[in-house]
Amino acid sequence: MTDGANPAGRAGPAEQERVLASTSQQEHVSFDDERRTPLKRFQQFLHANPTTIPFIVLALSIVLFSAIVGSRFFHPFNLSLVLQQVTIIAILGTAQTLIILTAGIDLSVGAIMVLSSVVMGRLAVLAGLPVPLAFMLGLLVGVACGLLNGFLVARLKLPPFIVTLGTWSIFGALNLWYSASQTIRQQEVAEAAPFLQFTGTAFNFLGARITLGSILMLIIAAFIWYLLNRTAFGRHVHATGDDPEAAKLAGINVTGTLIAVYTLAGFICSIAAWALIGRIGAISSISGATANLDSITAVVIGGTSLFGGRGSIIGTLVGALIVGVFRNGLALAGADSLWQEFAIGLLIIVAVAIDQWIRKVSA
Amino acid sequence: MNQSEQNTHAPAGVQPILQARNLVKRYGHVVAIDHAEFELYPGEILAVIGDNGAGKSSMIKALTGALKPDAGEILLEGKRVEFESPLEARAAGIETVYQNLALSPALSITDNMFLGREKRSEGFLGKYFRKLDRDFMRREARKHLNALGLLTIQNIDQPVETLSGGQRQGVAIARAVAFGSRVVIMDEPTAALGVKESRKVLDLILDVKRRGLPIVLISHNMPHVFEVADRIHIHRLGRRACVIRPQDYSMSDAVAIMTGAKEAPVH
């Protein structure tokens, strides 16, 4: 830059001195907010409010797709479709959030959900058990699966990734064996156990079709939010994921917290099974195949850190909505479904990169 | 020489608040604690110094319930106690500020102060929905930080990771003081700090003493030890070599006794 092009050129050296002075000062006074660059301040703001980014991304994606596909996107019917598609992923996402907050990961959430739904369906429809009993046993299967994961992670101290990779296969195989790879048709479920399809019941809200499954999703999310933010257990979950050694020294039962988290996640997955049956009507051993990774995607895009200790349920709901909006918007725009996967992949990588950047505030 | 016959500069006729007698801990052939004696008196700062591997950590662990001694006894205010875990020692009023501080970086100052002993709301929500009394905890946290002059911390809800090393140490000490009814043990509180922040933490330690809480200060930093300690317990080869007063000896004498270059004084 020449002096001619820069009318304020005379201020240059003084400006430089000021910058130098401020940087040298920063070495001594590390808690001086005044001297931070706007980018640094933005980074700090995000560190304090990590769910800002998911909300911005959601807003941008809505603007983007409404610009591309026009009013079709905002049609109440389309919005209710997005919501229904998001429901299952969001319920599994709340379970996944709990686990990722403890710096773990659960690859088996989808498998637990499908196994629970198959147990509910076969016991109620084919074995002729009373529906409430079949339902409870289905929930129990979810709890047992979660307890097994929790035991292996917390007691045997095996890495969560490996544990749930293993149980994903095991639960999947049990599911194929028990269901004999048969599908229970929608009609059969409706006749023998209408209660299992109850979550598919829809009502009209401002022209949009809302299912009870979506309401169930909100109830679960609200419950887990309360648990994480308003109870001691929630603090212990965060502390366990943040720094397990420190948590132990502070007197927290880290092992018990981990087992409780995995078990609770298993329970939520079995509730998701109920929502799944309501959504597709039939009970199939192959439904929900992509649910595992989609739930992790929702959590990560929602701003929860894979390193544990920080994240939120609200972020996960927004993350699930972002995934839903992208899939729906790209489909409406007539893009091949492979581009949906492409976009989701991009979102994941960007989300993790942003998380890494935000975490550097504390370093 | 029998350790119990040493002159420990104990105040006459005062019962130790925390005492260990003839403590022994073996790991196979290694003797980590070799018939060690220990006394902490009310209102004092007792520094514990010793070379690496001298066994001072093991002795402190035995006093805080993190390690179960093979033999010997521990007395709290003259009554024999047996701690099965650090939690039990804490329940008895012995608080430890660990070297790694045992703080959870992403949680707020308030959450950290009450970590593991959260206070539930009175009434229905607290009883049946386990709701936390966050206002109470905020108030208490602020009160305890203020009492120790840690007013510079503006926002009680800010995550601990946004604090400086000295401020974090301050939060950990405030937590120990808030809950430690009898004894506060500090493990290397100034080891990770710069000069300025060390100064503040030392002032904080003296402040805690003025509030009447006896302190066990484990440190490698001789100037810090000599500045704040009333008595210095020198640990060597798994046992107490001697107890000196900082005014009677120089720092190099203390280091010489600690490393065995100089005989422990016999009075």
> What pTM was estimated for this model as a whole?
0.85
* Range with the largest mean pLDDT of A49-53, B47-51, B122-126: B47-51
Give the tens place of pLDDT for each residue, B1-50. 455 567 788 888 889 999 999 999 999 888 999 999 999 999 999 999 99
pLDDT value of residue A91: 97
Distance CA A275, CA A288 (A): 11
SS (HEC) of chain A? CCCCCCCCCCHHHHHHHHHHHHHHHHHHCCCCHHHCCHHHHHHHHHHHCCCHHHHHHHHHHHHHHHHHHHHHCCCHHHHHHHHHHHHHHHHHHHHHHHHHHCCCCCCCHHHHHHHHHHHHHHHHHHCCCCHHHHHHHHHHHHHHHHHHHHHHHHHCCCCHHHHHHHHHHHHHHHHHHHHCCCCECHHHHHHHCHHHHHHHCEEEECCEEEEHHHHHHHHHHHHHHHHHHHCHHHHHHHHHHHCHHHHHHCCCCHHHHHHHHHHHHHHHHHHHHHHHHHHHCCECCCCCCCHHHHHHHHHHHCCCCCCCCCCCHHHHHHHHHHHHHHHHHHHHCCCCHHHHHHHHHHHHHHHHHHHHHHHHHHC
Which residues, listed in sequence order, are joined to residue B235 by a DSSP beta bridge? B50, B240
- Work out the average pLDDT over A276-304: 88
Query: With 50 as the cut, is the pLDDT of residue A11 above it?
Result: no
pLDDT value of residue A286: 83
Query: With 70 as the cut, is the pLDDT of residue A7 above it?
Result: no
Longest dimension (CA), chain B: 66
Chain B: residues touching A (Cβ < 8 Å): 86-87, 90, 96, 98, 100-107, 111-112, 115-118, 120, 129-132, 134, 158-159, 161-162, 164
Contact B107 A235 (CB under 8 A): yes
pLDDT value of residue A208: 83
Query: With 90 as the cut, is the pLDDT of residue A51 above it?
Result: no
Structural domain count of chain B: 1
> Which of A230, A249, A362 is facing B105, going by the closest CB pair?
A362
A5: in domain = no
Give the tens place of pLDDT for each residue, B67-120. 899 999 999 999 999 998 888 898 899 999 988 888 999 899 999 999 988 888
Distance CA B180, CA A280 (A): 58
SS3 state of residue B68: coil
Distance CA B196, CA B148 (A): 17
> Which of B98, B118, B164 is facing A249, going by the closest CB pair?
B98
| Structural domain harbouring B251 | 44-67+83-259
Q: Which of B64, B96, B100, B107 to mutate to test the interface with A (most CBs of A within 10 A)?
A: B107
Mean pLDDT for all residues in chain B: 89
Contact B161 A226 (CB under 8 A): no
Query: With 70 as the cut, is the pLDDT of residue B154 above it?
Result: no
Q: Could you tell me the CA-to-CA distances from B70 to A125, B23, B53, B237 in Å, in that order?
A: 63, 8, 19, 17
Q: Which of A271-275, A301-305, B5-9, B132-136 comes out lowest in average pLDDT?
A: B5-9
B227: in domain = yes
Q: Which of A11-15, A144-148, A271-275, B252-256 comes out lowest in average pLDDT?
A: A11-15
B20: in domain = no
pLDDT value of residue B4: 53
A180: in domain = yes
pLDDT value of residue A196: 92
Percent of all residues in chain A with a pLDDT value above 90, rounded to a whole number: 56
Distance CA B201, CA B210 (A): 14
> Which of B87, B104, B164 is facing A247, going by the closest CB pair?
B104
Chain A: residues touching B (Cβ < 8 Å): 30-31, 47-48, 226, 230-233, 235-236, 238-239, 242-243, 245-247, 249-252, 309-310, 361-362
The predicted complex's ipTM stands at: 0.83
Percent of all residues in chain B with a pLDDT value above 70, rounded to a whole number: 96
Q: Per residue in B248-262, is it b (16+ CB within 10 Å) or e — as a string?
A: ebeeeebeebbeeee
| Structural domain harbouring A181 | 64-358
Give the tens place of pLDDT for each residue, A222-263. 999 999 999 999 999 999 999 999 998 888 999 999 999 999
- Scanning the structure block, which residue is given the tokens 């088996």? A108
Structural domain count of chain A: 1
A27: in domain = no
Please, which residues have CB within 8 angstroms of residue B166's CB and are 6 or more apart in sequence? B193, B194, B196, B197, B198, B200, B201
B37: in domain = no
Write out the DSSP string of B69-126. -SEEEEEETTEEE--SSHHHHHHTTEEEE-TTTT--TTSBHHHHHTTTSPPBPSHHHH
Contact A242 B106 (CB under 8 A): yes
Give the tens place of pLDDT for each residue, A193-224. 999 999 999 998 888 889 999 999 999 999 99
A54: in domain = no
B178: in domain = yes
CATH number at residue B130: 3.40.50.300
Give the tens place of pLDDT for each residue, A103-156. 999 999 999 999 999 999 999 999 999 999 999 999 999 999 999 999 999 999
Contact A251 B129 (CB under 8 A): no
> Which of A233, A238, A249 is facing B106, going by the closest CB pair?
A238
Phi-psi region of A237 (alpha: psi -120 to 50; beta: other; left: phi over 0): alpha
